[in-house]
Structure 1
């Protein structure tokens, strides 16, 4: 597994807008359509990355735990489906069903959204506040496939809690590590 780290978009960056098709509903959405009243979690994932496959159960639990608290949750796949057909929109729908992903799973065919967010790997997490300013970017937790550390989502959960409850955020924020985005 080749490891790529997050590019660490500067905190305070305004969420780049997008207009992407949701592979779960076949509707097209913008950031504005999907943002939460207290903040928005945008994550770049894909169907085949071992890091995503390892972490997706915790990601789904986080989504379920925090959507009811006013956090919008958005997943985006930006991989080149010509070279990586396992990440096609049709298989994204199947992946979402298999993993009980009932939040939008958007397809970034042009890869413009990934570039706007400086996304570098899967999974890559961006948490925006209710003013659409980047509050946290980085890892889910210290766990990785095969490193013996239990999956907990502690870094991302801590950031979401800090945002919701107006607490200071732990520094420094650690970059996410995963498979590199498959660029065209």
Structure 2
């Protein structure tokens, strides 16, 4: 289990657009189609990473809560499925249904989207405002598999509340830690 940190894309960066295959609906979806009215969380995840598995239920709970407040959630898997077949699109669809993902689970086959977002690990979280400017990037919270800290989602929740309340987020934005994205060779 690698401990790879986020790259911390500069704040105010405009969200790179994309058009990716949604493994759940079996349709191509663009960022413009699925962004939230008040903001959007873009997260890079995968099926097998213990760090993602550790936070899945909290991410689903946050998405269900914040959807009602106008925040869109988008999950993207960019892993190399030749060497990591457990992250293939058919398995992504099964995983999304098993975990009750209320958000699209998109497959970044070329890995171009992950590179455009400077994503490094799973999970890697980004929050964009309604104009798709980056307001937060980094961790869900301080919990990691085996560290005994409960999964609360406090960092992501605080950043979303700041966005919705039009308050500056003065909290330190810590990098996420997780498995490295499985890049194609």
Short-chain TM bin:
over 0.9
Q: For residue 28 of structure 1, give the secondary structure of its aligned residue in structure 2.
A: strand
- Please identify, of 80-89 and 27-36, the stretch whose mean Cα deviation from structure 2 is larger: 27-36
Q: How much has 1:126 moved relative to structure 2?
A: 0.3
**Match of 1:182?**
182
Instruction: Determine if the alignment matches structure 1 residue 39 to structure 2 residue 39.
Output: yes
The TM-score, its normalising length taken from structure 2, stands at: 0.98
Deviations 1:75-107 (A, max 9, x none): 000000000000000000000011000210000
Deviations 1:46-79 (A, max 9, x none): 0000000000000000100001100011000000
Give me the whole-angstrom Cα distance separating, in 1, the residues matched to 2:131 and 2:96. Answer: 29
Aligned residues: 184
Which 4+ residue blocks in structure 1 deviate beyond 2 angstroms? none
Q: How much has 1:127 moved relative to structure 2?
A: 0.2
Query: Does the 8 Å contact 2:76/2:108 carry over to 1?
Result: yes
1:94-109 to 2 correspondences below 5 Å: 94-109=94-109
* Structure 1, unaligned runs of 5 or more: none
**Match of 2:17?**
17
Give me the whole-angstrom Cα distance separating, in 1, the residues matched to 2:95 and 2:108. Answer: 16
**Match of 2:113?**
113
Cα-Cα RMSD: 0.6
Q: How much has 1:168 moved relative to structure 2?
A: 1.8
